[in-house]
């Protein structure tokens, strides 16, 4: 099964993705991880992508699709969660074409719908462990160890992109680039919405029901 989690920064995609990985054995496809892995391995695609990054340029869609294509070949037979990709309609169309060649498809696209004001509150209060990546919140999920992570003891940091002025810019970019992608999948008939303002457990149960319908 291949599913896409799509939503604005802070809408809860990462939290739900980790749950499906832990409980159902999904593999997460994060383009950032795929890029870093290809570069670290010094593969031809990785070096090609790095040449753009070294110039301060975005990695072109066609290169990203080739990287995703190579990654999917390594995950044959596994259920994959696409998190943060595709971001644009062009990427979505290319992904559809690539998966069709592999005789597979995107089964469901889960859109995490949330009020932007709640997103800003979520992100400005978010704290991330500098060592293991565990996420906390100063109000809804504070660490019992203060400024240290409960799991590994690492220091909790406030990411630069979790500051209000940066968040507003990220939300504007999301609406501009990914808004049309949401409508693309809605027209295809495989988009479903979840209210991600709810508690994570409730959102998780909703997605389970949605995926059960896809089986």
The tens-digit pLDDT sequence of the chain (215 residues) is 899 999 998 898 888 988 999 988 999 988 878 888 888 888 888 889 888 888 877 788 888 889 899 889 888 888 999 987 898 899 999 999 999 999 999 999 999 999 988 889 888 999 999 999 888 999 989 999 999 999 999 999 998 888 888 888 888 888 888 999 999 999 999 999 999 999 889 999 999 998 875 44
| CATH number attached to the domain at 2-26+79-214 | 3.40.50.300
Question: Strand 80-83 vs strand 27-29: parallel, antiparallel, or unpaired?
Answer: parallel
Predicted pLDDT of residue 33: 81
Predicted pLDDT of residue 95: 94
Predicted pLDDT of residue 138: 93
The residues assigned a catalytic role are: 13, 87, 126, 159, 170
Predicted pLDDT of residue 114: 93
**Could you tell me if residue 153 is left (phi over 0), alpha (psi between -120 and 50 degrees) or otherwise beta?**
left
pLDDT digit string, tens, across residues 136-189: 999 989 999 999 999 999 999 998 888 888 888 888 888 888 999 999 999 999
In angstroms, rounded to a whole number, what is the distance separating the alpha carbons of residues 151 and 81? Answer: 25
Predicted pLDDT of residue 190: 93
Predicted pLDDT of residue 214: 43
Predicted pLDDT of residue 215: 45
In angstroms, rounded to a whole number, what is the distance separating the alpha carbons of residues 45 and 41? Answer: 10
Nearest CA-CA partner of 38 in 81, 67, 69, 74: 67
């Amino acid at each position: 099964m291949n599913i896409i989690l799509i939503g604005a920064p802070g809408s809860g995609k990462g939290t739900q993705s980790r749950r499906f990985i832990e409980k159902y054995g999904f593999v997460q496809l994060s383009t950032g991880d795929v890029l870093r892995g290809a570069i670290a391995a010094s593969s031809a695609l990785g070096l090609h992508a790095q040449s753009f990054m070294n110039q301060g340029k975005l990695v072109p869609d066609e290169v990203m699709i080739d990287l995703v294509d190579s990654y999917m070949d390594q995950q044959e037979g596994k259920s994959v969660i696409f998190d943060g990709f595709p971001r644009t309609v062009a990427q979505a169309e290319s992904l559809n074409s690539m998966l069709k060649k592999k005789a597979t498809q995107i089964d469901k696209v889960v859109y995490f719908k949330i009020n932007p004001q709640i997103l800003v509150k979520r992100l400005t209060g978010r704290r991330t462990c500098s060592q293991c990546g565990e996420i906390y919140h100063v109000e809804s999920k504070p660490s019992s160890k203060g400024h240290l992570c409960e799991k590994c003891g690492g220091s909790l940091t406030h990411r630069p992109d979790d500051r209000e002025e940066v968040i507003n810019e990220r939300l504007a970019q999301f609406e501009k680039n990914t808004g049309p992608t949401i409508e693309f999948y809605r027209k295809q008939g495989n988009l479903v919405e979840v209210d991600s303002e709810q508690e994570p457990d409730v959102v998780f149960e909703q997605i389970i029901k949605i995926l059960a319908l896809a089986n």
